[in-house]
A and B are shown apart, each in its own frame.
Chain A
Amino acid sequence: EVQLVESGGGLVQPGGSLRLSCAASGFTFSRFWMSWVRQAPGKGLEWVATIKQDGTEKYYEDSMKGRFTISRDNAENSLYLQMNGLRVEDMAVYYCATVEPVGWYFDLWGRGTLVTVSS
């Protein structure tokens, strides 16, 4: 079965760090650009970051540059998001998704993992 499964979410204090993971299965992970997209409670979708198949290109939404780091391990079929300096406004469900670079859209989504930032 083709799927993405996120993990690593949880409760963290403001200023803290968290590392999210996304496990891919059922497809050739190394062939795909990958992204993280988040959704704050009751809000819309917000793109977070994107990484090329071989990890040589990475792109971030401006407000997350310098705080978040996207990475991948193709041998482990896994995508990661290291989040440092977390703020209350970073509280959201974080989804990983495959990216189709022709048109730049998100084809396959995981179910998401919830990050709660609170003291």
Chain B
Amino acid sequence: SYDLTQPLSVSVALGQTARITCGGNNIGGKNVHWYQQKPGQAPVLIIYRDSNRPSGIPERFSASNSGNTATLTINRAQAGDEADYYCQVWDSSTVFGGGTKLTVL
């Protein structure tokens, strides 16, 4: 089965840039999607097919995918960005990363 590796936690100072990685074997050859989940809420799609933002998602959220690592970047981090973030790919079946807890200091 295909494995996706995310750091358990990432911290960022208010207003700074956060980067959350998602590692997988040749993940650059796959479509990577990202979800944000705030405590007690359902996940929300924030990036699809590597770098596309659904309508309503701020431009502060961006992503890239190359080689063995996909990266979600959150510019000008806000307190409201504190959440768990999950990457996801399809490789014979749907695979989620373990999730990364983002803390805004």
Contacts and interface: CB of A to CB of B under 8 A. Distances in A.
Interface of A: 35, 37, 44-47, 50, 59, 61, 95, 100, 102-107, 109-112
For the complex, would chain A's binding face be called helix, strand, loop or mixed by DSSP majority? strand
Given A44-B86, A103-B48, 6 more contacts: A35-B94, A44-B96, A45-B37, A107-B48, A109-B43, A111-B42
Nearest to B95: A47
B57 interface: no
B44 interface: yes
**Which 9 interchain pairs have the tightest Cβ spacing?**
A104-B90, A47-B94, A105-B33, A103-B31, A109-B42, A45-B96, A44-B99, A103-B49, A105-B48
B24 interface: no
29 contacts: A44-B86, A44-B96, A44-B97, A45-B35, A45-B43, A45-B86, A45-B96, A45-B99, A46-B96, A47-B94, A47-B95, A47-B96, A50-B94, A59-B93, A95-B42, A95-B43, A103-B48, A103-B49, A104-B90, A105-B45, A105-B48, A105-B88, A106-B35, A106-B43, A106-B45, A107-B45, A107-B54, A111-B41, A112-B42
Contacts, number: 56
